Amino acid sequence: FKKFKQQSQLAFKSFLKGITADKKVSYILLWTGEKGLGLFNSWDMSESVCSNSDTLFKKFERHLEPRLDHRIHRYEFQGLK
């Protein structure tokens, strides 16, 4: 997801420079496809939050980044002895 975010931000800085925040959100949702749109529709967000591209990126990051499993980390740590 980090590459997608970086590519999106580069597009917004170059050939999509000067577009409104609502259009940025629309482009992000178009680029994420059906699965991304499904995730977006499943989140309960207000209108002000929906129109902010940075908040949208944070929501996608929180959902898509792998979660840490403390049991596995504890097991790996104990194996280092």
Provide the phi-psi class of 40: left if phi over 0, else alpha when psi is between -120 and 50, else beta.
Answer: alpha
60 CB neighbour count, 10 Å cutoff: 19
The pLDDT value given to residue 34: 92
For 33-52, how does the pLDDT look when each residue is reduced to its tens digit (9 = 90+)? 898 888 888 887 776 667 77
For residue range 48-74, list pLDDT tens digits in order: 667 778 888 888 888 877 777 667 767
CA atoms of 74 and 80, how far apart (whole Å): 10
Please count the structural domains in the chain: 1
Give the domain range for residue 23.
2-79
In the 8-state DSSP scheme, what is residue 16?
T
